[in-house]
A and B are shown apart, each in its own frame.
Chain A
Amino acid sequence: MATYTTNDFRPGMKFMLDGEPVAIIENNFVRPGKGQAFAKTKVHYLLSGRIVEKTFKSGDNFEVADVMETDMEYLYTDGEYWHFMDPNSFEQVAADEKAVGENVKWLKEQDSCMVTLFNGTPISITPPNFVVQEVVETDPGLKGDTSGSGGKPATLESGAVVRVPLFVQIGEKIKVDTRNGEYVSRA
């Protein structure tokens, strides 16, 4: 079993804590004068999503978490699972509702997506920072309103709803930032 000690800790490193894989967000070495040294470590629990600051004794050992991030192609959903394929090995994995979470709204068949696997099972998905999708539904737009202040909601082919400028019409392709869900430009 591979292990890390706190001396190996770096941001992004993943290890097992309380039976759950965690990723290190931030790590600080604390050694007040003489005496025991500690690591104050901010960790992200990858299953529950919690972010917690933990205190470890310097030198304590932790099991390396078998967590892998792979770019995969989204294939389809059967209603219960979302299926992804590794474009190199053609191996397929199925992600449940918890794993796809909120990001399900960005999934478009054949699009590439980063899948985080824990012991081979998907635990989360991350869409590309920017996606290009077709607008499938939006109001025709209010003629004469050129203030451009509010915009209007538009539904994309993946099902996501984003606010777009009034001039955007059904059938147009637009570029969207998936991190904040904001319209970037026409594509």
Chain B
Amino acid sequence: MPMNLPKVLQIRAQVFRSIREYFHDTNALEVDTSLLREFSVTDPYMSAMVALSPAGKKLGYLQTSPEYAMKKLLCHGSGDIYQLGKVFRSEEEGLHHSSEFTMLEWYRVGFNHRQLMDEVFQIIQLICGDLPRQDMSYRDAFLKYADIDPFDMTVEELSLFAESKLGKLPDNMLYDNYLTLLFSQLVESQFTSNEVTFIYDFPASQASLARTAERDYGTIGCRFEAYLGGLELANGFWELIEPIEQLARFHNDNSIRNQLGYPKIEIDDTFISALQKGLPDCAGVALGIDRLIMAKLGENNIRRVLPKIFSVNQ
């Protein structure tokens, strides 16, 4: 059920304007990269929508985020950039998910992920007002809320622990699948409401497009997520800039896809060749604008803040 629609439209427009003013004042350039591209992402857990011509010819993929297109601009000397617009993810529908949603993505040259966390906190406060903040490493969050060390368990131990907490689980689960599920069911659900929680330094296996670093307990991905209460708002990286390592990760994604029985995705070689030209040292983040508006208004259903009319049955 939508909220009062004129009110939703007012608030959305205000938020867009505040964001554009903020980036104008802090010298990031607005870009509007293509949402229909020839390539999709290899991420095993992301599925892009395919666009077809009326005759059934494949035209390309609707983008799940503007990440590759924006990084290509960075490789060609754009400097700090942001994009505010729709993205699409196939079959993601739920209380906090809509398969079409509004994303703010931005990149700061010379930043690392910890510096970008500070800017994310500023933007959240710009929209939602003053809030307390807590920062925790991924490992510390698991130690604190679930009493396990995610860097020091075998998949068998993890499976036993997860089933003791959550009941019988599917058979074809990988190590990271258990961690993802446990994080959502035991960790993020315990974050303090009305507080911004930053989780940083994810296991290297979940580094995605972030560079990795060594800690005394293992290798981490320089990645963070921002939450308001238990609601995830943003995911950011200190970006990986090595083309060879990036290509190896794409191939690894495809082998995980193969292991899980998901289709193989063609690797975006235009992205790899842009990295070969040189991505400047930078950090980037994607922030869900509809969720930010949910947080601002205290709503728990994304459909109540979307700018559309739903049929009575929805």
Distance from B160 Cβ to chain A, minimum over Cβ atoms (Å): 15
Given contacts A7-B91, A37-B92, contact A32 B170 (CB under 8 A): no
By a CB distance below 8 angstroms, the chain B residues around A34 are: 43, 45-46, 206, 208, 235
Q: Is B94 an interface residue (CB 8 A)?
A: yes
Chain B residues whose C-beta falls within 8 Å of the C-beta of A55 in the assembled complex: 166-167, 169-170, 181
Q: Which residue of A lies closest to B163 (CB)?
A: A55
Closest to B172 in A: A57
Contact A35–B176 (Cβ < 8 Å): yes
CB distance from A42 to the nearest CB of B (A): 12
Task: Count how many chain B residues have C-beta atoms less than 8 Å from C-beta atoms of the other chain.
Answer: 32
Closest to B47 in A: A59
Residue of A nearest to B176 (CB): A35
Asked whether any CB of chain A lies closer than 8 Å to the CB of B95, the reply is yes
Q: Within residues 20 to 69 of chain A, which ones have a CB less than 8 A from any CB in chain B?
A: 28-38, 52-60
Kindly identify which residue among B91, B92, B180 contacts A36, using a CB–CB cutoff of 8 Å. Answer: B180
B235 and A54 form a contact (CB under 8 A): no
A38–B206 Cα distance when bound, in Å, is 17
CB-contacts of B28-67 with A (<8 A): 43, 45-46
Q: Which residues of A contact B215 (CB under 8 A)?
A: none
Residue of B nearest to A6 (CB): B91
Residues from chain A with Cβ under 8 Å of B262 in the complex: 59
Q: Determine if A36 and B168 form an interchain contact, defined as CB atoms under 8 angstroms apart.
A: no
The contact string, 1 if C-beta is below 8 Å from chain B, for chain A 52-92, is 11111111100000000000000000000000000000000
The CA-CA distance from A30 to B181 in the complex, in Å, is 8
**What residue of chain A has the Cβ atom nearest to residue B162's Cβ?**
A55
A15 to chain B, nearest CB (A): 14
B168 engages A35 (CB within 8 Å): no
**A-contact 0/1 string along B145-176, CB 8 Å cutoff:** 00000000000000000000011111011101
- Residues on B with C-beta less than 8 A from A28 are 94-95
**Is A35 within 8 A of B180, CB to CB?**
yes
Task: Give the CA-CA distance A46 to B94 in the complex, in Å.
Answer: 26
Question: B206 contacts which of A35, A53, A58 (Cβ < 8 Å)?
Answer: A35
**C-alpha spacing A37/B93, complex, angstroms:** 11
Do A57 and B170 contact each other (CB < 8 Å), given the known contacts A33-B232, A34-B45? yes
* B221 nearest CB across to chain A (Å): 10
Query: Are A29 and B92 touching (Cβ within 8 A)?
Result: yes
- Rounded to whole angstroms, the CA-CA distance of A32 and B226 in the bound complex is 12
User: How far does the alpha carbon of A38 sit from the alpha carbon of B94 in the complex, in Å?
Assistant: 11
Q: For residue B95, which residues in chain A have a CB less than 8 angstroms away from its CB? A: 28-29
A residues less than 8 Å from B179 (CB atoms)? 35
CA distance A58 to B91 in the complex (A): 9
Measured CA separation A35–B168 after assembly (Å): 20
Docked CA distance A60–B172 (Å): 10
* Contacts known (A35-B176, A57-B172, A57-B173); A30 close to B184, Cβ less than 8 A: yes
Chain A proximity mask over B246-270: 1 for CB below 8 Å, otherwise 0:
0000000000000000100000000
Residue interface mask A91-122, B partner, CB < 8 A = 1: 00000000000000000000000000000000
* CA of A75 to CA of B49, assembled, Å: 54
Residues of B within 8 A of A30 (CB): 94, 181, 184-185
B188 to chain A: closest residue by CB: A32
Given known pairs A34-B43, A54-B167, the reply for A29 and B93 (CB within 8 Å) is yes
Whether A60 contacts B45 in the complex (CB less than 8 A), given A31-B97, A32-B183, A36-B181, comes out as no
Of B94, B170, B185, the residue contacting A60 (CB under 8 A) is B170
| CB-based contact B183/A56 at 8 Å | no
> Among the listed B43, B94, B172, B225, which residue makes an inter-chain contact with A29, where contact means beta carbons less than 8 Å apart?
B94
Q: How far is the CB of B240 from chain A (nearest CB, A)?
A: 14
A160 to B185, CA, bound (A): 45
A32 to B180, CA, bound (A): 7
A36-B167 in contact given A7-B91, A29-B97 (Cβ < 8 Å): no
Q: Which of A29, A30, A35 has the most CB of B within 10 A?
A: A35
> Which A-B residue pairs are the 9 nearest by beta carbons?
A29-B94, A32-B184, A35-B180, A36-B177, A7-B91, A57-B170, A36-B180, A33-B232, A33-B225
29 contacts between A and B (CB under 8 A): A7-B91, A7-B93, A29-B92, A29-B97, A31-B92, A31-B94, A32-B180, A32-B181, A33-B225, A34-B43, A34-B45, A34-B208, A34-B235, A35-B206, A36-B45, A36-B177, A36-B180, A37-B45, A38-B184, A53-B167, A54-B167, A54-B168, A55-B167, A55-B170, A55-B181, A57-B170, A57-B173, A59-B91, A59-B262
